[in-house]
Chains A and B, each alone.
Chain A
Amino acid sequence: MRLSDRARDLPESGIRKFFELAEARDDVISLGVGEPDFSAPWAARTAAIDSLERGKTSYTSNRGMAALRERISAHHERYDQSYDPAEEVLVTTGASEAVDLAFRALVDPGDTVAVHEPTYISYGPGIELAGGEQLTVPTRAEDDFALTRESLEAAGAAEADLLVLCYPNNPTGATMTEEEYAEVAAFCRDEDLRVIADEIYSALTYGADHASIATQPGMRERTVVVNGFSKAYAMTGLRLGYALGPTDVIDAMNRIHQYTMLSAPTTPQYAAIEALDRCDDEVAEMVEEYNRRRRLVVSRFNEMGLDTFEPGGAFYAFPDCGGDDEAFAEELLEAQGVAVVPGSVFGEGGEGHLRVSYATSMRELKEATDRIATFVENR
């Protein structure tokens, strides 16, 4: 069948190749997984089961169940974010839908969208599907992959219409401080940039609390915050996210959402209500466990001579492999059966690095890092 040019031109994700290489072997320890190794809290799962038993299988309001939006709004007070549950919250099918809706609501054909890289791989294609053009802003290892005004200026982002932020960052684990955001926010105000802030890893920070650009002066009205339940509550497969933003943008996103999705799936919304009501302790336990793994992984990579900065969030470390990251990852998989993702898959600035996910049991992390150390010694 004839495909649209748009579909034909959409590139295959660079992750795909490593997925196929890893799947071809059965002895692989994978540090390549971009989702939690925990299951959703049992209380949230039982709430989903209960809702099914009670026959709660119809559509919800386009914007998501009011009870859920109220809880999302209350939950975000911990980040000093304040959004009206009636008009400024939209529940979506995963944070991915929220990002896509934000692009469709904010990007006109020919608009330029600045994206810092390395970053999550879906923004580029999303921008392209919305008719925009991506302007890449490389972040630098010497800045621990935080975004700076200097990098924005150097990349010519003053000409952009929109900026996409993803912190805590996949793949680097980098976070941004209030001070770093202040600089970026000033740039956005000066150059009249609107922002999509993907904060899906906000609950997974270590040492410092999550900061958001949306709480910087003058930024709330020009920012759409995207978040969801996948990472914090280990609910990736339940596909539930949301967007927070000014009424006009959320209205526009909801208009698109009502035609394309109608409403986010109902069962996960019941799970999410329970998650927000009763599962904070379980999230805290997961964060503590991620933190122990994070410290172990970072110290082991530094010991084996692969420089690794201390990631402040998410569940990734981003060691410098000192050369061709793709070759390193392929040879490591071949020689030692350990899968990691080459940093270059995540765009400019990622080359020479590896994304190492520590969303894997401590036992496997130890075994995998032992194998990597052997590989590095023999290479």
Chain B
Amino acid sequence: MDAEREVLDVLARNAREDIDDIAAQTGLDADAVADAIDALEADNVVHGYQAVVDWDRVDEGKIRAIVEINVELDRETGYEQVADRIAKFPAVDALHLVSGDYDFAVEVLGETMEDVSRFISEQVAPMPEVTQTVTHYIMDTYKDGGIRFEDGDDDDRLSVSP
């Protein structure tokens, strides 16, 4: 495996690993790890580093919704142009072009359900290319970013075994 891929595998699991620990885990030296991270960022492989947050556990947390959006394109307007306009709204947390019954799957973050509804009805739905939106509010999250949202440690192995 090349150095960038090894570093990426570690960061994708835990972006807070420091360079020395990544070096220890991959067998690379610290400079090579730093170079790999620089290259991953420069090549837009790594776009940023974020915490995986269970917003339900935060007082005054956030409301999340997945919004299906159908669009109608014309000669001057393609998916890229529409995506560019949708993605500019700060409330849009993630935006994917998808196969199937609708075109875009949009993850929206808001302070309240009302905020999200208003955003969709007042900002997204009126866009000329948008023909339909369906909003699914997320009621509970069990797993995100590959991490199960569970309580603490359930290691029930014997503490010392042969």
State the A residues within 8 Å of B (CB). Answer: 13, 15, 18-19, 22-23, 28, 30, 32-35, 37, 120-122, 170, 288, 292-293, 295-296, 299-300, 339, 341, 362, 366
Contact = CB atoms under 8 A, between A and B. Distances in A.
A364 B85 CA distance: 45
Interface of B: 9-10, 14, 21, 24-27, 155, 157-162
Given A288-B9, A362-B14, A296 B158 contact: no
A60 B95 CA distance: 52
Contact of B160 (A288, A293, A299, A339): A339
Given A120-B162, A288-B9, A292-B10, A33 B25 contact: no
B4 to A, nearest CB: 15
Given A37-B155, A288-B9, A362-B14, A296 B21 contact: yes
A168 to B, nearest CB: 15
Contacts, number: 54
B161 A15 contact: yes
A34 B161 contact: yes
Instruction: Give the one of A32, A288, A296, A339 with max B CB within 10 A.
Output: A296
Top 10 A-B pairs, shortest CB-CB distance: A32-B160, A292-B25, A19-B160, A22-B159, A299-B24, A296-B24, A30-B159, A34-B161, A18-B160, A296-B25
Nearest to A13: B162
A13 B162 CA distance: 9
Contact of A37 (B14, B157, B158): B157
Nearest to A237: B157
B78 to A, nearest CB: 36
Contacts of A23: 159-160
Contacts of A120: 162
Contacts of B14: 362
A28 B153 CA distance: 13
Contacts of A15: 160-162
Nearest to A24: B159
A33 B26 contact: no
A18 B162 CA distance: 11
A28 B159 contact: yes
B159 A32 contact: yes
B137 to A, nearest CB: 28
Contacts of A28: 159
Contacts of A122: 162
A121 B162 CA distance: 7
B23 to A, nearest CB: 8
A34 B26 contact: no
A296 B17 CA distance: 12
Instruction: Give the one of A13, A23, A37, A299 with max B CB within 10 A.
Output: A299
A339 B161 CA distance: 11
Contacts of B9: 288
A257 to B, nearest CB: 23
Given A295-B27, A296-B21, A299-B24, A22 B162 contact: no
Contact of A33 (B10, B27, B159): B159
Nearest to B17: A362
Contacts of A34: 161-162
Contacts of A288: 9
Contacts of A32: 159-161
Contact of A35 (B21, B25, B161): B161
A170 B162 CA distance: 9
Contacts of A300: 24
27 contacts: A13-B162, A15-B160, A15-B162, A18-B160, A19-B159, A19-B160, A22-B159, A23-B159, A28-B159, A32-B160, A33-B158, A33-B161, A34-B162, A35-B157, A35-B161, A37-B157, A121-B162, A122-B162, A288-B9, A292-B10, A295-B24, A295-B26, A299-B24, A339-B159, A341-B160, A362-B14, A366-B21
